[in-house]
Chains A and B, each alone.
Chain A
Amino acid sequence: MNEQSVKLDRMRFTKNTQSSRLALLAIVFDVFYFVSIYKTNVDFYYNILMGASILYNLVFMLAAFLSSEGVKNYKPGFSYVLGVLGVIQIVRIFILPVKAHATTVTVGGTEILAMSNGQFVRVVIYLVASAVCLCAAAVINMQKSRALSAHIAGLEAQKA
């Protein structure tokens, strides 16, 4: 067995911690994102969109966590879930942050942006980072699970 085969064979007994940790890291970035938005005390956020955002964050965290457990065991189906979640994180940039950044509110008689430039850059970075982690986790898991399946098939063929 050469080094590459040993590396593949190791996957039969070790977890895909790389993908799993990336998925968990994506959750962390998402938390940074919504904490950054929810702490902003301007009227703009108090509408139905905010309620939906809270619900989605709960769903996102649950789905990402379950997927992190799934990819730990090289289950390829969870790569698709992570991929979809990653794409949605990018789409989310154009919902709350972009809208808030383009909206002005009056605070103490002064008109200001609902989301300042600095805050906008920060939340975009959090969402992009979260999306990158999710997509990387998905791609790595897909590659590894395919390689592992091929390796196991090879071993079974050898046995037969």
Chain B
Amino acid sequence: MAELSLHHIDKIYDNNVQAVYDFNIDIRDGELIVLVGPSGCGKSTTLRMVAGLEDISNGNLLLDGRDITRVPAKDRDMAMVFQNYALYGHMTIYENMAFSLVLRKEDPNVIHKKVLAAADILGLTTQLNKKPSQLSGGQRQRVAMGRSIVRNPKVFLFDEPLSNLDAKLRGATRREILLLHKRLNATMMYVTHDQTEALTLADRIVCMSMGHVQQIGTPLELYDSPNNTFVAGFIGLPPMNFFDVTFENGSLHGKGFEVPLNDEEKSILANYNRKAITLGVRPEDIVEGKDLTVKVFSNENLGMNTLVHGHMGDNIRVTAKLRGWANYKNGDSVKLDFKRKHFFDKETTNAIRKGDR
């Protein structure tokens, strides 16, 4: 397989709109990188630049150390799987999967072996004589993947491949992609706006916003140590709660509420005394306790957990994900504690880590 490097990649369109700013990453052989971010953040543009479907305005793209920045898409040895499958409706599944190899004038017997092998991997052996219209969305997406596999490319590129599928099928197909990656041990770049896909699939995640890379790291790093409020808010479901607070006398003071800190947390904020910061708390890090009084306005039972939405202090909204089944009524008061806290600089929105400032 292959190592892929993107060095200082920019995308500037003819109308001077810049879609991607200084994108840098070294993708290791066999790694699955997920580009995640909201719509319009530049993730698909980056993928299309890697595929050769968009020109790279500045920077270098290296595949196994070879500069392929100006190499045409057809010569890059990469395969792309699109959101809308892009299958030929008049061809059978077999013909769809064999098509790229037929165009390359490969030996028909070799094509046959490759198609059968790919169909076997994807569980499509019994579907090979059908037309795409006879398959479900998930099966069609598997055919699109099969078409990539038969080419045995150096890099697989996925552009939101699960977005057209319903929730149940999306989960199943996601697991199939993960198994496929383990089986092929291929270098893959995967674009999605769904953070669940990103967290479950990725070896490393690239979180993007407004064309800028916000953070690159393992799923756990992004979840546990977000670089800034954007990453903290984007990764995690339900999203992190943010509160404007001031660090004073060893605790955090918000509008109408006070959050006590332990010694380690105080040491992190040692340089922020009497300064306004942003406190971030994940809903799953809020537990029933004694420090804060929250007035409930909504209670959503999810089975294993309960999402409790309420207000604390001066009408500050908070969402807690409590373990077990709870039945809080509108107007009930509940005592909660913040178990784990994240601190962010109010001006820069960057995470405050020990020794900052």
Contacts and interface: CB of A to CB of B under 8 A. Distances in A.
B94 A13 contact: yes
A21 B112 CA distance: 22
Nearest to A7: B109
B92 A10 contact: no
A9 B109 CA distance: 9
Contacts of B128: 12-13
B113 interface: yes
A14 interface: yes
B129 A6 contact: no
Contact of B113 (A6, A12, A13, A14): A6
Contacts of A9: 112, 116
Contacts of B129: 12-13
Residue of B95, B108, B109, B113 most packed against chain A (CB within 10 A): B109
A3 interface: yes
Contacts of A6: 109, 112-113
Q: Interface of chain B, helix or strand or loop or mixed? A: helix
Give the contact-size bracket for chain B: 10 to 19
Contacts of A10: 108-109, 112
Interface string A4-41: 00110110111000000000000000000000000000
Instruction: Give chain A's interface residue range (CB within 8 Å of chain B).
Output: under 10
Interface string B96-137: 000000000000110011011000000000001100000000
Nearest to A3: B109
Contacts of A13: 92, 94-95, 112, 115, 128-129
A14 B129 CA distance: 9
Interface of A: 3, 6-7, 9-10, 12-14
A14 B112 CA distance: 10
A14 B92 CA distance: 9
- 6 tightest Cβ-Cβ pairs between the two chains A and B: A13-B94, A6-B109, A10-B112, A13-B128, A6-B112, A3-B109
Contacts of A12: 128-129
Tell which of A3, A7, A12, A13 has the most Cβ of chain B within 10 Å: A13
22 contacts: A3-B109, A6-B109, A6-B112, A6-B113, A7-B108, A7-B109, A9-B112, A9-B116, A10-B108, A10-B109, A10-B112, A12-B128, A12-B129, A13-B92, A13-B94, A13-B95, A13-B112, A13-B115, A13-B128, A13-B129, A14-B94, A14-B95
Contacts of A3: 109
Contacts of B116: 9
Given A6-B113, A7-B109, A10-B112, 19 more contacts: A3-B109, A6-B109, A6-B112, A7-B108, A9-B112, A9-B116, A10-B108, A10-B109, A12-B128, A12-B129, A13-B92, A13-B94, A13-B95, A13-B112, A13-B115, A13-B128, A13-B129, A14-B94, A14-B95
Contacts of B109: 3, 6-7, 10
A41 B109 CA distance: 54
Nearest to A2: B109
A24 to B, nearest CB: 17
Nearest to B129: A13
A91 B214 CA distance: 81
Contacts of B92: 13
